[in-house]
């Protein structure tokens, strides 16, 4: 993987959406066709032999690469959305994130016990949103569950991996320490 290429396209926006937050803006990764393809190729290489049948993307930045990856893997794509956005019956959970609290939902019946699931989001901070999504996915009793982020923030006082049980299969393309 060309990490330098990806890093060169990642934009940091200070104090968004709240003072003190260093926001890692992935829109600048996605708007560049070479960078977009590089990321997608790396994700395909990581997951093509894992038997993934469903990719779950976390709203909203997890939808972009998640859906592209699902298509490349020949898997289905499932949206994990903010409350009130999914029209059908849902299962729901609440969680705490780096800035505030939130809830997420998945449609009832979106995953079944024969599925091998990859849950994808753009960034790991506290791990709260992915942990909530992970727990929601477990309520469908899939065969196996994998977790992927494009970016892991590993800074003082921030250890998102600690939100998951030891042995949880987690990959991150980039780890940022500042
Ligand atoms: P967390 O649940 O704390 O791991 O936060 C991860 C979620 O919040 C992801 O969906 C990210 O898109 C978003 N997020 C949290 N912190 C940041 C940040 N510093 N830069 C960009 N996105 C962030």
**Shortest-distance atom of ligand 1 to CA 25:** 21
The predicted structure's pLDDT at residue 156: 85
Q: What percent of the chain has pLDDT over 90?
A: 89
Catalytic residue numbers read 61, 98
Measured in Å, residue 151 CA sits from the centre of ligand 1 at 9
Residue 8, domain member (yes or no): no
> What's the pTM?
0.96
Q: Tell me the two tokens of residue 20.
A: 């003190």
**Shortest-distance atom of ligand 1 to CA 125:** 4
Query: Per-residue pLDDT averaged across 138-147, rounded?
Result: 98
Parent domain of 82: 51-176
Q: Tell me the two tokens of residue 31.
A: 């708007």
Per-residue confidence band for 99, with pLDDT thresholds at 50, 70 and 90:
low
Residue 21, domain member (yes or no): no
Query: Per-residue pLDDT averaged across 97-126, rounded?
Result: 92
Under a CB-based contact definition with an 8 Å cutoff, are residues 102 and 71 in contact? no
Residue 99, domain member (yes or no): yes
Query: Per-residue pLDDT averaged across 5-10, rounded?
Result: 98
How far the first Cα of the chain sits from its last, in Å, is: 21
Q: Tell me the two tokens of residue 136.
A: 């929601």
Q: Tell me the two tokens of residue 85.
A: 């956005």
Which of 122, 106, 171, 109 lies closest to 145 in space, CA to CA?
171
Residue nearest to ligand 1 atom 18, measured at CA:
23
Separation between Cα atoms, residue 168 and residue 133, nearest integer Å: 13
Residue 89, domain member (yes or no): yes
Number of domains in the chain: 1
Ligand 1 proximity of 124 Cβ (cutoff 6 Å): yes
**Shortest-distance atom of ligand 1 to CA 153:** 19
Per-residue confidence band for 155, with pLDDT thresholds at 50, 70 and 90:
confident
Measured in Å, residue 71 CA sits from the centre of ligand 1 at 25
Residue 153, domain member (yes or no): yes
Query: Per-residue pLDDT averaged across 30-50, rounded?
Result: 98
The domain that holds 78 is classified in CATH as: 3.40.50.2020
17 SS3 class: coil
Beta-strand relationship, 54-58 and 116-124: parallel
Residue nearest to ligand 1 atom 20, measured at CA:
23
Residue 6, domain member (yes or no): no
Residue range 65-85, pLDDT digits in tens: 999 999 999 999 999 999 999
Residue 143, domain member (yes or no): yes
Residue 5, domain member (yes or no): no
Alpha helix locations (H) across the chain?
A: 3-9, 27-30, 33-47, 62-73, 128-138
Per-residue confidence band for 157, with pLDDT thresholds at 50, 70 and 90:
confident
């Amino acid at each position: 993987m060309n990490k330098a290429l990806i890093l060169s396209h990642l934009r940091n926006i200070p104090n968004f959406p709240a003072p003190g937050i260093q926001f890692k803006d992935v829109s600048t990764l996605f708007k560049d066709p070479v960078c977009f393809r590089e990321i997608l190729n790396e994700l395909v290489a990581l997951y093509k032999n894992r038997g993934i049948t469903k990719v779950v993307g976390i709203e909203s930045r997890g939808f972009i690469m998640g859906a592209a990856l699902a298509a490349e893997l020949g898997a289905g794509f499932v949206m994990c959305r903010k409350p009130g956005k999914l029209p059908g019956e849902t299962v729901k959970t609440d969680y705490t994130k780096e800035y505030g609290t939130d809830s997420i939902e998945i449609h009832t019946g979106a995953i079944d016990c024969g599925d091998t699931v990859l849950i994808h989001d753009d960034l790991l901070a506290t791990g709260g949103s992915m942990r909530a999504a992970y727990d929601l996915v477990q309520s469908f009793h899939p065969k196996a569950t994998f977790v992927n982020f494009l970016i892991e923030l590993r800074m003082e006082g921030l250890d998102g991996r600690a939100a998951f049980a030891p042995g949880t299969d987690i990959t991150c393309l980039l780890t940022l320490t500042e």
